[in-house]
Amino acid sequence: MELLLDPNAWIAFVTLSVLEIVLGIDNIIFISVLVARLPRSQQPIARQVGLGLAMVMRILLLLSIAWVMGLTEPLFTVLDYTVSWRDLILFGGGLFLIAKSTLEIHTSLEGEVEHHAAGGGVSFLGIVMQIGLIDIIFSLDSVITAVGLVDEVPVMIAAVVVAVLVMMVAAGPISDFVDRHPTMKMLALSFLVLVGFALVGEALGLHIPKGYLYFAMAFSFLVEMLNLRMRKKAAEPVKLRKTVAADTASEASGGEG
């Protein structure tokens, strides 16, 4: 009850909720790209299950804060560089993200037919397992950030729940938009490759502020939106000419009859 009346707790809650939503952008993009491989009827369920797993994973990690922070303790040393469990998890997750995104780019360029012919079919369970695997990486980063900002676990959990609920609402429109525009999907996959390299760099001690990554993505997204707008305007005269030609042909055939 004291937390509900504490203005500092509310400020921390709002700040952390916004931050969790921003940190969840790459998670939404990854889920959107993966579920696009499933039949359309299964995509909404896979998105909700994937984000539900993300929320459960974050809450469990928050309830195990001592264990999570212990992951940052030195495990062994290589050439004067101390390696922790967190470093190993981020390194493995980064490599997985790079490999998966590169494979998706290859599939998009070569075509689904060749991919399935080579035995690359996907299943609902397989997609959910991949989402759950990458959720561990994104959740770990998110929870460590939360612990650094807020002291009260209930505030952290409330912020995580709100952030995931917002992502659940936004995931559908984002997935549909990415699915309708192949160039936007390629941009999203390129962003995931960049995030993968950032995770590997973080594991090796090369900190890359996420603000730089999100600025690059936002700038690229803005440029692509302008390109989509220009292509749409260029296509309008062509459609108009086809419509006029069709109407003229219809009138001519009607006049002959």
Residue 199 and residue 87 in contact, taking contact as beta carbons nearer than 8 Å: no
Nearest to 172 by CA among 34, 39, 48, 25: 48
Residue 12 and residue 149 in contact, taking contact as beta carbons nearer than 8 Å: yes
CA–CA separation, 141 and 146 (whole Å): 9
Residue 155 structure tokens: 């505030």
Residue 33 and residue 173 in contact, taking contact as beta carbons nearer than 8 Å: no
What single string gives the DSSP state of each residue in 163-183?
Answer: HHHHHHHHHHHHHHHHHH-HH
**Which residues does 129 contact at the CB level (< 8 Å), separation at least 6?**
none
Residue 184 and residue 177 in contact, taking contact as beta carbons nearer than 8 Å: yes
pLDDT tens digit sequence for 70-127: 777 888 887 778 888 888 888 888 888 888 888 888 877 776 544 444 444 568 888 8
- Phi and psi for 59 in degrees, rounded to 5? -65, -45
The larger pLDDT score, comparing residue 66 to residue 123, is at: 123
Residue 54 and residue 138 in contact, taking contact as beta carbons nearer than 8 Å: yes
pLDDT tens digit sequence for 231-252: 777 766 655 555 655 656 565 5
**Mean pLDDT within 13-24:** 77
Nearest to 154 by CA among 46, 2, 44, 48: 2
The larger pLDDT score, comparing residue 167 to residue 122, is at: 167
Residue type, 227: N
Helices within the chain (DSSP H only): 7-23, 25-35, 43-62, 65-70, 85-110, 112-117, 124-149, 153-180, 182-203, 210-256
79: region left, alpha or beta (phi > 0 left; psi from -120 to 50 alpha)? left
